[in-house]
Amino acid sequence: MTDSSDTTPPPARTGYAVIQDHLKTLDHSPGVYRMLDAESRVLYVGKARNLRARVSNYARPGHSGRIEKMISQTAAMMFLTTRTETEALLLEQNLIKQLKPKYNVLLRDDKSFPNILVAKDHDYPQIKKHRGARKQKGTYFGPFASAGAVNRTLNQLQKAFLLRNCSDAMFDSRSRPCLLYQIKRCSGPCVGKISEADYADSVRDAERFLSGRSTKVQEDLAAQMQEASDAMEFERAAGLRDRIRALTQVQTNQGINPRGVAEADIVALHMESGQACVQVFFIRANQNWGNQDFYPRVGADVSAAEAMEAFLGQFYDNKEPPRQLILSDGIENADLMADALSEKAGRKVEILVPQRGEKAELVSGALRNAREALARKMSESATQAKLLRGVSDAFDLEGPPQRIEVYDNSHIQGTNAVGGMIVAGPEGFMKNAYRKFNIRGGDLTPGDDFGMMKEVLNRRFARLLKEDPDRDKGLWPDLLLIDGGAGQVSAVQQIMEEHGVEDIPMVGVAKGIDRDHGKEEFHRTGKRPFALRHNDPVLYYIQRLRDEAHRFAIGTHRAKRAKAVGATPLDEIAGVGAARKRALLAHFGSAKAVSRANLADLKAVDGISEGLAQKVYDFFHDR
């Protein structure tokens, strides 16, 4: 007999029954499906050529432990049909990157890669590093695996081709050659040391070299060197010899330069103990432009084919794929993936799994790198886990912290003030979670570190409460480290109480009474300060965290200060972009002279329309 007054809702249905209910309404269209738990959190995103057939597989027992657990938690499903399976594949990977479902293979360390740009929006093109969208007019070469690889190549290319790397504003303001000209790293186009035609020839040679036609460039330089030597122009011959040596140095740094592979990414996967490492080598113009390792989140029962397919889909979601992908492991939907990437690139993309020859040797080398990198990563993870347990014991935490946030400020007498936040956890430094805060407080006393820290923490917790109010997205810290003593700790405690946050441990790291490195004191609310043994590994770890926060804050401050040095009032005028700003500065000589110019003089500048001249004039004179 039941009590009719009992209003307790029945438990939510989950598992096979829920999936079987959805089968009744599904057709055979291609599309994407999502599995959700009882709190509507996405557990898994998948694609299907035939939604009904794919979902029916989940309605029958006999899956791996990971999939069985996922099915048991499934309380609802969502479906999106597409016209083609290719569209479904692209949508699936897009949703995985956005939603980060618990049971999908997830690429956690996705980022853009730098390129070399030969900018073509100036009579004397500039060569420089570029990252991000390709909006600027010019020729792009890349991707390179790291900023270091780009910088090394640029350094040697400057020696070889003497192309400028200064900004357009600096170029236009020069009246005499800079240091780079003196040390033979630039041909001095800013002061007429080279003609426009000869500079254009150097640009063409640099582009030929970066396009893989390096032999021809070196042959031409060798012929010029011989001519200079025959004419007894020994200084010029020595300069050409140094340029040839610089090009050889670029090729030496690249290590392996395959002859039979013009443009490809070599992708090698190694899996061990439920962890994975993917090594990607970038081959462009028959040159090795570096490699990068990635550690996607996988489960113990994920196959190599599944992990590789998920990695490719997510990795190339925001990158242009090369003409060939050379893989260590085949994927189930190779034709589909090739079609999707070809559609994205606007040209054919091949997916290969070589068994012999040069391509197989390249894969073997990448696979060795992946195996060694994963071994190092697993060793570092074990050490990191031990350190986090030590942090927990030292500060009486409930358990090893999964997310530590460390804060620091940087300024010069209160100017260009910034706050920096770095994050660390079981995987080490989580650089994609770092944040910078431009200090906005107009009522702050210059140099008021307390006030700056209050502003940073206020903004941080206000955002956390807005973005992750239920604390289920992994954005909340388990421990806060503040650079400072009892005063800073008290100020931060007050801010946390104002936001209703009282359960996050916080520690102030002070340099101690004699401020010697290694004698730090730790301050906590309501407890006496204490110190760790001078040789305690946890002390060294806390010092590394604090030093990293300091480095990040200092770097952010310097970048802000450098930007402020190059800024002019012209930057604030709508419609005045880089080209028009350059034209105004070249015509008048300085922003101050622009501010004093009359309307007729402004209209006389090339590229400045009558309407824009009026806007510039009004901007300065309304002030």
**Dmax of the chain from CA atoms?**
113
Give yes or no: residues 408 and 465 share one domain.
Answer: yes
Q: What is the CATH number of the domain that holds 472?
A: 3.30.420.340
Give yes or no: residues 84 and 143 share one domain.
Answer: no
CA distances from 623 to 179, 569, 573, 620 (A): 39, 12, 13, 5
| Secondary structure (3-state) at 530 | strand
Give how many domains the chain has, as a whole number: 5
pLDDT of residue 5: 43
Give the start-end residues of each E strand in 259-413: 263-272, 275-284, 287-294, 324-327, 350-352, 404-412
Q: Quick count: other Cβ atoms within 10 Å of Cβ 206?
A: 23
Give yes or no: residues 144 and 247 share one domain.
Answer: yes
pLDDT of residue 248: 66
CA distances from 550 to 13, 126, 422, 558 (A): 51, 33, 9, 12
Give yes or no: residues 450 and 575 share one domain.
Answer: no
| Secondary structure (3-state) at 108 | coil
Give yes or no: residues 337 and 410 share one domain.
Answer: no
Decide if 6 is inside a domain: no
Decide if 396 is inside a domain: no
Q: Quick count: other Cβ atoms within 10 Å of Cβ 452?
A: 23
CA distances from 147 to 87, 119, 167, 289, 573 (A): 33, 18, 19, 11, 33
pLDDT of residue 522: 92
Q: What is the CATH number of the domain that holds 612?
A: 1.10.150.20
Cα–Cα distance for residue pair 341/428, rounded to 1 Å: 33
Give yes or no: residues 497 and 605 share one domain.
Answer: no
- Pick the last residue of a domain from 254, 271, 287: 254
pLDDT of residue 1: 38
Give yes or no: residues 496 and 555 share one domain.
Answer: yes
Give yes or no: residues 204 and 120 share one domain.
Answer: yes
- Find out whether 308 and 269 touch, Cβ atoms under 8 Å: yes
Residue 485's Cβ-count burial label (10 Å; 0-12, 13-18, 19+) is middle
Give yes or no: residues 589 and 556 share one domain.
Answer: no
Q: Which positions ≥6 away from 40 have C-beta within 8 Å?
A: 76
Decide if 8 is inside a domain: no
pLDDT of residue 601: 83
> Which H or E run includes 362?
helix 357-394
Give yes or no: residues 289 and 414 share one domain.
Answer: no
pLDDT of residue 563: 63
Cα–Cα distance for residue pair 267/327, rounded to 1 Å: 5
Decide if 4 is inside a domain: no
Decide if 606 is inside a domain: yes
Cα–Cα distance for residue pair 42/471, rounded to 1 Å: 16
- Pick the last residue of a domain from 338, 356, 376: 376
- Pick the last residue of a domain from 376, 392, 413: 376
For residue 78, list its beta bridge partners.
34
Counting every residue written for the chain, the total comes to 623
pLDDT of residue 423: 94
pLDDT by 10-residue block (mean), the chain, 623 residues: 44 77 88 92 92 90 87 92 89 88 83 87 90 87 83 82 87 87 89 91 84 67 77 74 68 60 92 91 85 87 91 90 94 91 91 93 92 88 91 93 90 68 90 85 63 84 87 88 85 85 89 63 89 88 90 79 64 77 79 83 85 85 63
Preceding omega of 143 cis (within 30 degrees of 0): yes
pLDDT of residue 51: 93
pLDDT of residue 9: 46
Residue range of the domain that includes 163: 115-254
Decide if 391 is inside a domain: no
Give yes or no: residues 412 and 558 share one domain.
Answer: yes
Decide if 289 is inside a domain: yes
Cα–Cα distance for residue pair 274/66, rounded to 1 Å: 12
CA distances from 356 to 85, 268, 279, 465 (A): 32, 15, 19, 56
Give yes or no: residues 574 and 560 share one domain.
Answer: no
Q: Quick count: other Cβ atoms within 10 Å of Cβ 107?
A: 22
pTM higher than 0.85 for the full model?
no
